[in-house]
Amino acid sequence: MTQRISKYQRFKMMNPVIQFFKFIYLSIKIMVVVAGGHGGTRNLN
Amino acid sequence: MSKIVILGAGISGHVAATHLRRKLSKQHEVVVVSPNSNYQWVPSNIWVGIGKMKSEKIYFPLAPLYKKKGIQFKQAKAISFHPEGDKTEQTPYVLSEYVVGNQKGQQEKITYDYLINATGPKLNFGATEGLIPGKNKAYSVCTYSHANHAWGGLNKVIQQLKAGKKAKILIGTGHAKSTCQGAAFEYILNVEQELRKHKVRDKAEVTWISNEYQLGDFGMDGMLMRYGSLTMKSHEMIEMIFEDRGIKWILGAGVHKVEDGVAHYENLEGEHKSETYDFAMLIPSFSGHGFKAYDKNENDITEKLFKGFMIVDADYTAKPYEEWSVRDWPETYQNPNYKNIFAPGIAFAPPHSISKPRKSKNGTDITPAPPRTGMPSGITAKLVADNIIDSIKGGKKSLHHKGSMGNMGAACIASAGFGLTKGSGVSITTFPIVPDYEKYPETQGRQLGKTFGEIGLAGHWLKLALHYAFIYKAKMKPFWWLIPE
Ligand SMILES: Cc1cc2nc3c(=O)[nH]c(=O)nc-3n(C[C@H](O)[C@H](O)[C@H](O)COP(=O)(O)OP(=O)(O)OC[C@H]3O[C@@H](n4cnc5c(N)ncnc54)[C@H](O)[C@@H]3O)c2cc1C
C-alpha cells in the first residue's frame, strides 16, 4: 500500500459537512451533463 | 390503433414501456414480453455482492405494476423475428415462448405495428472455458441471483481470513472482449473496503485483472478529465486509487480458461500466464441472444436484422481505428431494413469498439467491448419511444428525436465502499461517451468541464440516492417522469 492520498485529502473526502456540499454540487453538475441534452452527430459536423 | 411490442423489461425496455404508456391513449396497446417476472436495478447488485443490501431491495414484480398501468405483460422469451409475417399471419410478429405457469412451453406469434428489441446482452459465460457463476470459486454480480451467490463465496473467504488463513482475491474481466469494467471496478473497491471493515485486509492479496490496455480505460479509450483543479488522465486517477488501496493489477489480459482457483490468460505480449485465487469475480463477455429472423416465405434473413446484436442506423463499414468517426454511431436505433423495429440499450450492435483495438503478439484480439451503461440505455429507450409516439400521433413516420453516444453524456457513479459515514464513491462523468476528436481535438475527444472525476463520501450518497430515485421512477410513483433517465 502506498499512501497516494494524503491525510488532509482523505479528511476532505470523508468529512460529512464538506461532502454534503459536494453532494449538492455533484448532483447539479451530473444533471447538467446527463440531462443537459443529447442529439445526433451527423448534421452537426 | 397501434400495437407496440417491447422485448425485455430491463432498464431500456421498462423505460420505453412506461413512457409509451404515459403518452399514448389507451386505444393503443403496449405489450412487454420478458422472461424475468421482476424488474431489477442492476447497478445495486454490487452491494448485494458484498452482503450490504438484500436482493429484495433491488427488484420488484412487474405484473402488478403493469396491470395497474394498463401495460400488457407476457412472461415469455422471444425466439425468432418475422418482420413480414408469414404465409398464415400477414402482420409482422415475434415468435415467443412462455416460461411459467400453465402456458409454460407454449409458443405465440406476438404481432406488432412497432417492435422495440430491448433484450440487452446474453451473459456469454460459455465463451470462457470453466467460467460458470459459482463454480471454480469464480462468481459474477451481473444479476441479483449471481450477486447473492457471490456474497456467499466472499463471506466464506472472509471467515477463513478471520481464522488466520491467507487468501487471494481476483476481480475484473473474464474474457478478452468483456465490457462493463466499471462494475468490476466498483466491486473490487467495495470488497477491499469490506476486508478492512472485517480487519482482515492484511491477510488478503487483492488483484485487478482486465482486458484494458491501461487502468481507467473502461472500454471508452480512457479519458482526459478534470480532477479538482488538475487535468489528469483517467489511468492516473485509477492508479492513484489502486495504489492507495494496495490493489495490484494485471492489464491487457484475455482470460480464456478458468479452473478451480486458477484463471488462465494471454496478455498483449503473447505470453500465456495464470493467476491463482481463492475468490474471483469475473465479468463474462456479452453477446447477442442468437435470434433468427425469417421473411414471409420463411427464408432466413437473420443478417438483415442481426450482427450478433441488432443492426441499427450505425455505419458498420469495416475501417481502421484511425478512420473511425463519432458519426459511425447510431442516432435513432432504427433497423435500416425494417423501419418499425428499434433496438435501444445494449441490444443494438455497436459499429466498433470505442477503445483502440489491440491484438496480442499471437494475434488474439484483447480489446474491451464498448460499454452501454444505464443512462445511455435509458436515454436511447426514451428517444425511441418518443419517435414512435410522434409517428403514431402525427400519422407519419417521425425520427425527430436523436441521441448518438457521440453527443450524449454519461455519469458513472462507482461505489467505492458502503456506509453512510464510512462509505466512498468515485464519481466520473464523461461528455461525450464516444470521443469526438473533431469537436474536441485538444482534449482527447471530450469536453473537459463535463468530463470530470471526484472521490469521496458524497459519491456513495449519490449512488444510494440514485438507487432510491430510479426504483421510485421504475415503480411509476407520482411524478416519476420528472426524474431524468
Ligand atoms: C453489476 C453491474 C453494475 C452496473 N452498474 C452500473 C452503474 O452503476 N451505472 C450504470 O449506468 N450502469 C451500470 N451497469 C450497466 C447497466 O446495468 C446496463 O447498461 C443496463 O442494465 C442495460 O439495460 P438493457 O435494458 O439494455 O439490458 P438489460 O438490463 O440486460 O435488460 C434486458 C432485458 O431483456 C430480457 N430478455 C433477455 N432475453 C430475452 C428474450 N429472449 N426475450 C425477451 N426478453 C429477453 C431480460 O430478462 C431483461 O429484462 C451495471 C451493470 C452490471 C452488470
Quick: pLDDT tens for B432-451.
999 999 999 999 999 998 99
* Other CB atoms within 10 A of residue B364 CB: 16
Hey, what's the cell of B36? 424475468
- Whether A1 contacts chain B with CB within 8 A: yes
Cell output for B264? 488462465
Distance A18 CA to ligand 1 centre (A): 34
The x, y and z cell numbers of residue A38, run together, are: 443529447
Predicted pLDDT of residue A43: 67
Answer whether A41 sits within 8 Å of B421, measured CB to CB.
no
Name residue B266's beta-bridge partners: B254, B272
Q: For residue B310, what is its C-alpha cell?
A: 441488432
| CB neighbour list of residue B323: distance below 8 Å, 6 or more residues apart | none
- pLDDT for res A44: 46
| Dihedral in degrees, nearest 10, Cα atoms B200, B205, B208, B213 | 150
Judged by DSSP in three states, B247 sits in coil
Contacts of A19 in chain B (CB under 8 A): 456-458, 461
DSSP code, position B334: B
Residue B211 CB burial class (10 angstroms; 0-12, 13-18, ≥19): buried
- C-alpha cell recorded at residue B476: 411509476
- The predicted model gives B32-49 an average pLDDT of 96
Tell me how crowded residue B259 is: count the other CB atoms within 10 A of its CB.
14
Q: What angle separates helix B181-197 from helix B144-162, to the nearest 10 degrees?
A: 30
What mean pLDDT is reported for chain B? 96
Mutate to test the interface with A, among B404, B405, B412, B437 (most CBs of A within 10 A): B404
List the 15-44 stretch of A: residues with Cβ below 8 A of B.
15-16, 19-20, 22-23, 26-27, 29-36, 38-42, 44
Question: Whole-angstrom Cα distance, residue B279 to residue B465?
Answer: 30
pLDDT in tens, B352-411: 999 999 999 999 999 999 998 999 999 999 999 999 999 999 999 999 999 999 999 988
Pick from A5, A19, A34: CB nearest B458: A19
Mean pLDDT of B287-307: 97
The finding on whether B77 has its CB within 6 A of some atom of ligand 1 is yes
Q: What is the pLDDT of residues A26-36, one digit of tens each?
A: 999 888 888 77
Sheet holding B272-276, edge to edge: B253-259, B262-267, B272-276
Task: Say whether B465 and A27 touch across the interface (CB within 8 A).
Answer: yes
Mean pLDDT, residues B263-271 taken together: 97
Which chain B residues touch A5 with a CB distance below 8 Å? Answer: 240-241, 244, 455
Nearest CA to ligand 1 atom 11: B374
CA–CA dist B13, B36 (Å, integer)? 12
Of B403, B459, B461, the CB nearest to A38: B403
Cβ(B284) to ligand 1 under 6 A?
no
**Cis bond leading into B351, ω under 30°?**
no
Q: What is the Cα–Cα distance from B310 to B465, expressed in whole angstroms? A: 33
pLDDT in tens, B227-253: 988 999 999 999 999 999 999 999 999
Domains (range + CATH), chain B: 3-123+287-394 (3.50.50.100)
| Residue B335 in contact with partner chain A when CB distance is under 8 A | no
The shortest CB-CB distance from B402 to any of A15, A36, A40 is to: A40
Question: Could you tell me if B404 and B433 are in contact, meaning their C-beta atoms sit under 8 angstroms apart?
Answer: no
Give strand pairing partners of B323: none
Residue A38: what pLDDT?
Answer: 87
pLDDT of residue A35: 76
CA B275/CA B92 separation, integer angstroms: 50
Q: d(Cα B392, Cα B30) in Å, to the nearest integer? A: 13
pLDDT bin (cut points 50, 70, 90) of residue B419 is confident
Mutation to probe ligand 1, out of B42, B46, B470, B485 (largest number of atoms < 8 A from CB): B42
Task: Mention every residue, 6+ apart, whose C-beta is less than 8 A from residue B321.
Answer: B356, B357
* pLDDT tens per residue across span B160-215: 999 999 999 999 999 999 999 999 999 999 999 999 999 999 999 999 999 999 99
Beta strands in chain A, from DSSP E residues, in sequence order: none
Atom of ligand 1 nearest to the CA of B120: 27
- CA-closest candidate to residue B42, choices B9, B7, B78: B9
Name the more confident of B116 and A9.
Answer: B116
Could you tell me the distance, in angstroms and rounded to a whole number, from the CA of residue B42 to the centre of ligand 1?
7
Grid cell listed for B458: 458524497
Alpha-carbon dihedral of residues B337, B339, B342, B343, nearest 10 degrees? Answer: 20
Q: How far apart are CA B270 and CA B409, in angstroms?
A: 36
Please compute, for residue A32, the number of CA atoms within 13 A of its CA located in the half-sphere on the CB side.
11
pLDDT band at B349 (very low <50, low <70, confident <90, very high): very high
